[in-house]
């Protein structure tokens, strides 16, 4: 039943909430996102738990610092067993290239598969007004594509971007580039604090490879039913 293109966001504070949701979703979900909220609260034991359950993990910590610090931080995180890790593309080409080279080298030395390394372009919560308030002259869409191309040039495997920019990224970066899209909202779901959103079907048709879904699954009465409804919608797009 599970579709690896669906990544459920474990945006909770407590380990027992993780256990409850993972048990509830069972074999309907195979991929989970562990972000700052959970990792800073519970640490590496969450990663160990999910690996023991046979789940894939997107460790969403969005590293952004000087190149050496980010590269070494990712190497430290990699040994915990995440399948995808990320940085902020706005950290620049040198930061991303250093990170990619260092992580690949470390994985080779350890004799383990190298996790996918991706970069966050522009947060999906940012709208045009927020963007202009930062003093940015380019349109959000134009800057997202620019950052995606820079990410690919630096040797990373893909990006995090809104589903509204996925088609433009796919055209610019080719078919072998990961595009992981938050801001996924099934028809009728609450928008919450997201601005640039799309339905699961629309996001995949636009070129997304993975969909990150949190509240539309986690915060409903029957999470498994919600997850399976999203998977059913995804099945129409191969």
CA distance 71 to 171: 29
Contact 208, 182 (CB under 8 A): no
Asked about 62 being catalytic, the answer comes back as yes
CA distance 207 to 116: 18
62, 116, 149, 205: which one is catalytic?
Answer: 62
CA distance 169 to 148: 7
CA distance 100 to 23: 34
Known catalytic residues are: 62
């Amino acid at each position: 039943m599970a579709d690896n293109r669906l990544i459920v966001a474990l945006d909770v504070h407590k380990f027992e909430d993780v256990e409850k949701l993972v048990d509830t979703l069972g074999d309907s979900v195979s991929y989970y996102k562990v972000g700052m909220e959970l990792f800073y609260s519970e640490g590496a034991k969450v990663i160990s738990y999910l690996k023991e359950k046979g789940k894939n993990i997107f460790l969403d910590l969005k590293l952004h610092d000087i190149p050496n610090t980010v590269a070494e931080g990712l190497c430290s995180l990699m040994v915990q067993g995440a399948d995808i890790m990320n940085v902020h593309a706005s950290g620049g080409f040198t930061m991303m290239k250093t990170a990619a080279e260092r992580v690949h080298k470390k994985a080779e030395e350890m004799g383990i598969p190298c996790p996918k390394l991706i970069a966050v372009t522009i947060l999906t919560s940012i709208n045009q007004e927020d963007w202009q308030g930062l003093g940015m002259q380019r349109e959000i869409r134009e800057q997202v594509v620019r950052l995606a191309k820079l990410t690919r040039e630096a040797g990373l495997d893909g990006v995090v971007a809104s589903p509204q920019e996925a088609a433009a990224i796919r055209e610019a970066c080719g078919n072998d580039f990961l595009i992981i899209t938050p801001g996924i909202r099934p028809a009728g779901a609450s928008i919450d604090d997201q601005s640039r959103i799309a339905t699961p079907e629309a996001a995949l048709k636009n070129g997304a490879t993975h969909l990150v879904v949190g509240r539309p699954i986690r915060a409903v009465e029957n999470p498994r039913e919600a997850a399976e409804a999203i998977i059913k919608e995804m099945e129409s797009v191969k």
